[in-house]
Every structure is written in C-alpha cells, then in structure tokens.
Amino acid sequence: MLKGLNKQQVTAIEAVGNILLTACPGSGKTRTLTHKIAYELEKSVESKKVIIAVTFTNRAAEEIQRRIRDFNMDDRTLWAGTIHAFCLEWIIRPYRCYLDELKNGFSISDEYNSERIINNLKTEYGLRFFDNVSTRYLPTGEKEEVTFRELLDEYHEILAKDKLIDFDQILHYSYKLISSYPKIASILKKMFHLICVDEYQDTQQLQYSILSSIIKAEGGSCKMFIVGDSDQAIYGSLGGVAKNHKEIEYEFQETFLSKELTGNYRSNQQIINYNKNFQITDVDILALGSNAQDRAIIKYDTEIDKDNLVVEIARIIEEKIGEGIPENEICVLAPNWYLVIPMGRRLKTLLPNVKFDAVGLSPLQKNRENIWFKIARLFLVSPSPTSFIIRKRWSSELLLELESFGITLFENLNFRSKKLLKVINSISSTNTDGIEHLEDCFSQLLDRLQINLVSNKLLNEQLTSFIDGAKKRLNNPDFDMAKDIHSFRKMFKHEEGVVVNTCHGIKGEEFDTVIAFGLLHGKVPNWNENNDIAAKKLLYVICSRSKRALYLFSETGRTTQSGRQYCPTNQLTTVVYNYD
C-alpha cells in the first residue's frame, strides 16, 4: 500500500500516536492523508471504529473518498466532510433534544438567506454594504461581534423565529452540547479510531475546541492526524487560527509528534524560488519532480486595462493549448467571485471551442447547506456506474436530513437509499430552463413521496430560500449566468476544461499554468484583513499552484464604490524580480 511514497510520507503514515504534519505546497499532502486513512482502516477493520476526516471543503472530502475507493477498500467505517457537516451528523442531530433552542426542530439558514437578512438589517441600521458584521461565537458562548451587536441580536431573533440556525450557530450549539454534556464527547471518543484534520491552519478556535473536547474526554483511545501549512493560512479574516506545535499540544492536552513534508513534486525550482518572496516561515523547499530543472515562465503586468484583460487571458489560454498543454492544466483565478464570474462568462464567449471547468458559475453555489440543494444534485448528476456510489451516499445523507424535518421514508432500513434513488431516477422533466426543470422535478418527487409542503413549514421555507437565491444570482447582470438545465448539470461535472475559480476555491490544487488577475490592494488582501502577512499568504497560495507558468495581473481601471482607483498589491510590486 505504501509503495511509491517517499521516506517522509511513509514515516508520517506509520507513526504511532498523535501527529502534526506540516506539508509544503506540492509535497503530496492529500496523497499522504489518504494513505494514512487507508493504513488505519486496515488496522481498525476488526474493531469497527470510525475514522473521521474533517476537510475544509466538500470537494476535498469527496476527493478523499474517491481515492480510498480506488484502493478497493471497505470504506463503511470512514466518514469525511466539513466541520459543519461533522457537527450536524455526529453532535447536533443525535443530541439536539438536550437543547431548548433545537429540541423542537430546526433547519439550516443557507448562505443566501443569512446574507439577505444581514444586508436588510444593514440598510435599516444605516450601515454600508461592505461593513463587516461577524456572526461567529467564542468558545465562552459569547458573540464575537461588539460594534454592531444590536444588529446581530436582531439577526439571531429573526433566525430563531423561523427555527433556523446559521453555520456559526452549528458550531456554537455543537460546543454547547459537548461541553454541557461531557458524556457526548466520551461516547464519540469511544466510537472513533482516528480524527484527521486537513488544512488545520484555517481552523477556527471554536472548531479546535469542539475537536479537543472529544480528545480530552474520558475513555476511548482516539488519536489525531493533523495536516496543514501555516504559510497557506488564508482564512484569518474568517477566524482561522494557524496554531504552532506547542499551541496544538496545549489545545488538545496531548503529545503530538511533529513531522514534515518538505519536498515539492509540483513546481520547478524557479517557481519555488519566486514563491520565497511570499513565504512567512523559513522552510527550505526543494523541487523533486521530473520538472524540477525546467525553465519557468513568470510574467507580471500592471499596465493592462480591465476592459482588455479578458482578450489577453484568452490569448494566453489559446497559446498554451497550442503548445500542447491540456485544458485542465490551465487555471484562471481571482480574489473573489465578483471578478471571477464575469471573466468566466466572457472567456466562454471568446473561446467557444475551449472547455471550461467553472463550477463556481452555477447559481446554486450559495445554497450548499440547503436541503433542496442536496435534492437538486441527485437530479443533476445522472445515474451511471461511476456515479452510483456517490449518489447512494448522497441519498443516505438526504434521508437522515429529512428525518430532522419529521419525515421518515420507507420501512426497510437496509435498502432505503436505493429506494429513494429509484424514485428520483424515475422522474424526468422536459423543461430546458434550469430553475423550471428543478421545480418540476421537486414537485413530482413530493407527489411520489406523499410529502405535503403546506404542513411542513421549515421544508417549504427552505425551498423558497433555495429558489429565490438561485433566481437572484441568475438575474444579476454582473454574473450573466447561463440559465439552461445543461449548464446547471455542469456544476457537478468535473470536465477536462480550463478551471475558472477564486484563489480560495483552488486551494490544494495544481496546474501547469496559473493566470491570476485582480491582484489589487483592497482585494489582496481585502479591506477587512489589510496587513502584509495576509497578503503574502494569499499570494503564496496563488503562486504555489503553478508547476511551470505563472501570469500575474494587477490591471488598471477598477475603482472602489467611491470612485477611487485600485492600485496594485503592495506586496507584489515590492518584489525585485526579472520577469519574462
């Protein structure tokens, strides 16, 4: 199983006890993590204890599960997902009866709904659109927000009235349960064999507290395998805390063996040397891949106007494809969606014969925790031998979530997920409009399952939020999104195309050619995190995605809401380098 791994990777995987693994870009972090999981799955097969993999994104969780399946291993004792999904499945839903706020039922306020409420309140309170209102909680149970506390209190009152909780309340109530009832943590510790945490450097303090409560609980022998890189900590403005070795040990009250992955199999040495301009730590990284000594292309343009930028990026894409670079080895990225989405749409228009993997261009992105998003993906991903396992898992998760709405489907517990899939697979619609197609499918599903929305207020409100949120994005002229069902289906298809995404969205991925634009002060870093270290870390993540070619743009012509011109990112303009 460990063939093909280097000595550092094997040592980390075979190490006994709690492990803190620091992994530089391109060092095979995900490969090491999945091999560790497979290694421990084999060891725990008799005990039936569960291995937990807490990832930063759903996409990362699915990638881990896919790789484990490629090992042809029994993954029934593996659970992978985000910290919010972990809290919902293992803490809140099983033990919600212990909290007055949740015992009578709840549903999740998705990103669209929470943004809508807060933006309306900002208008009422005379705040500006870009004024930041934190909804995070401290481990003490106190709300982090101080300046706009009255607005935040009213926001929470609105959620409570509709029996909704947002993402930060998922963490808050989970910690409240696990700290108020220590037996919960003890039960979980006895159930788990290993908890893996990916991208630990972007973990919030409250998330650390939830996981450490489990590890510090009485009984059980659960261990930790924590992986990350403090140089890639880019979620500081969202509460991410890049703890060092000593701080990790203090948090969990356990000894952690410190291991490193320092070899870079992704980038050539020239790219690695350029990235040192943004590296915060003094880790010496050596290129070990077959491309180690290849010549890199590194360009930086501060003169091109934003209106001419898309033509130049299209030219670079065509040039790279002409050189034989596969489309999926090219990435176009920017600091935020408001820059990415129009760029993606215009590139598709200029390059009709080029395929694009622009999953972020779907109107459904901001509704991922809405139950109707989870129903929609079962309709949007067509049945096939390759999709069967993932669709079956989605079906099982959906059945559990429906139970939180008071809806239990089918009597035979062993075949419920297959029965639900059979019902969904039998439903079709002739509507070509994406929203109308989904609404038709939803209606048919409700009829087949005999679910009455009128008598289930929470489920009905989730549907309204899901549809309204999607329509709002579709009708936003800045996004100019495709509205047909074929484009909706592409959201769940990882095509062999040019990736168009945000800097945060491509974290952990790699490409031959990276084209980054919008590298402007106020965007890198954003106004809410305006400091040198935050900017350097974001630039480090951007540049370290590239294997061989790096094109950087701080374009002119972009202005703030007050009409002031954006300037190039300071931390980039101060770099002394002989660009191509």
Is 57 labeled as ligand-binding?
no
- Please compute Rg for the chain using Cα positions: 24
Distances from the Cα of 127 to the Cα of 138, 522, 563, angstroms: 24, 19, 19
Is position 363 annotated in a ligand binding site?
no
**pLDDT one digit per residue (tens) for the chain, 580 residues:** 788 899 999 999 999 999 999 999 999 998 999 999 999 998 877 778 999 999 988 778 888 988 898 888 888 899 999 999 999 999 999 999 999 999 988 888 888 789 889 999 999 999 987 788 999 999 999 999 999 999 999 999 999 998 999 999 999 999 999 999 999 999 999 999 999 999 999 899 999 999 999 999 999 899 999 999 888 877 776 678 889 999 999 999 999 999 999 889 999 999 999 999 999 888 889 999 999 999 999 999 999 999 999 999 999 999 999 999 999 999 999 998 889 888 988 898 899 899 887 655 567 766 677 899 999 999 999 898 878 878 888 898 899 888 888 888 887 666 888 899 999 999 999 999 999 999 999 999 999 999 999 988 889 988 998 898 888 878 877 666 778 898 788 767 656 789 998 888 887 789 999 999 999 998 887 766 667 888 898 999 999 999 999 999 999 999 987 889 999 999 999 999 999 9
For residue 433, the 8-state DSSP code is: B
Residues of the chain with CATH 3.40.50.300: 7-92+183-261, 269-355+496-574
Residue 110 confidence (pLDDT): 81
Which of 367, 363, 375 is CA-nearest to residue 401? Answer: 375
For residue 244, CA distances in Å to 67, 250, 562 come to 29, 10, 40
Tell me which of 3.40.630.70, 3.50.30.30, 3.40.50.300, 1.10.3720.10 is the CATH number of domain 7-92+183-261.
Answer: 3.40.50.300
**How confident is the model at residue 528, as a pLDDT?**
64
Q: Which of 563, 558, 565, 554 is nearest to 520 (CA)?
A: 554
The verdict on whether residue 25 carries a ligand-binding annotation is yes
What pLDDT is attached to residue 413? 62
Using the structure block, give the residue that is written with the tokens 């409100």: 461
The pLDDT value recorded for residue 138 is: 93
In this prediction, residue 573 carries a pLDDT of 93
269-355+496-574 classified as CATH 3.40.50.300: yes
User: What's the distance, CA 148 to chain centroid?
Assistant: 28
Provide the whole-model pTM.
0.84
What is the pLDDT, as a whole number, of residue 11?
A: 95
The string of DSSP letters for 467-510 reads HHHHHHHHT-TTT----BHHHHHGGG---SSEEEEETTTTTT--
Is 331 part of any known ligand binding site? no
Burial 298-322 (b: 16+ CB within 10 A, else e): bebbbebebeebbebbbebbeebbe
Q: Give the bridge partners for 54, in sequence order.
A: 81, 197
246 labeled part of a ligand binding site: no
Distance CA 462, CA 451 (A): 14
d(CA 244, CA 251): 10
Count Cβ neighbours within 10 Å for each residue of 551-561 and write b for 16 or more, e otherwise.
bbbbbbebeee
Give residue 131's pLDDT: 84
Q: What are phi and psi of 400, to 5 degrees?
A: -65, -40
Q: Contact, 543 vs 514, CB < 8 A? A: yes
Q: Residue 501: CB partners within 8 Å, gap ≥ 6?
A: 331, 332, 333, 340, 358, 359, 360
Q: Tokens at residue 394, please?
A: 């989605």
Q: What does the alpha-carbon distance between residue 86 and residue 77 come to, in Å, rounded to a whole number?
A: 14
Say whether 28 counts as a known binding-site residue. Answer: yes
